[in-house]
Amino acid sequence: MSQVGGHEFEAMYGPQFAKNFVNEYLKVEIPKRLIKYRNYWDVSNDELPDQAEFLDYEPATMDSWQTIITVALSGRGFTRVGHMRYGDPEYQVSYNMRTYAWARTEGERSVTVMRDRLIVVIRSALMDHPCLKRRNPQREAMIEESSITEEYSEITLLKGDRYLAGAYVGYELRIEEPIVREKLADFENIDLETVEAGPGQELSD
């Protein structure tokens, strides 16, 4: 938030913020959760590896593995939920989002299990509302749990015995966004003239 002419100014966020918001959150949360789930499932780093890249756009090609990609597909809702200090309205905006996970390793079963495990770790992070809220304490941000869906791709044979498998978590991200309205006019000085008048006496122009 910044000051413009003595007025607190905060712009609407838009889809670029929605993607970046989730992407930066996952950068922090996923490494911690990978450690916990490795211990819980008793698997090695090779079976549930660290993520090489977190992207908020869809690249033409992927050169790093494993990769998590978050994109925004659409926005809707735009429901007014209140007003800021100076009367500017706040809206709850819903973004239709997807977070993709891509896994690559040797063996058909190994890549399938790796992909399945990774998508569970991502899901656990996205459903953790208190942790998600901590990324932006000034604004309410949450994922509607009932909106969560998952899709899993078929595996693809790469060079040698390496395989590629992907999946995504689809969800609705709700964020409160303000809109600071432009002033219609600025009043610096107002001149007032007082006139004494008795009861029933008309005021002169």
Closest among 127, 74, 68, 135 to 103, alpha carbons compared: 68
Backbone angles phi, psi at 162, to 5 degrees: -90, 140
Q: What is the mean pLDDT of residues 182-192?
A: 57
Please confirm whether the linkage preceding 66 is cis (ω < 30° from 0): yes
Average pLDDT on 98-106 reads 94
- Mean pLDDT within 116-129: 93
- Alpha-carbon distance 140 to 194, whole Å? 50
Cα 91 versus chain centre, distance: 15
pTM over 0.85: no
Given a contact cutoff of 8 angstroms between Cβ atoms, the answer to whether 98 and 169 are in contact is yes
Supply the DSSP string of 144-164, one letter for each residue.
Answer: EEEEEEEEEPPPEE-STTEEE
Q: Is the pLDDT of residue 199 over 50?
A: yes
When pLDDT is averaged across residues 193-200 and rounded to a whole number, the result is 63
pLDDT tens digits, residue range 24-37?
999 999 999 999 99
Q: How confident is the model at residue 169 (pLDDT cuts 50, 70, 90)?
A: very high
Is the pLDDT confidence value at 163 over 70? yes
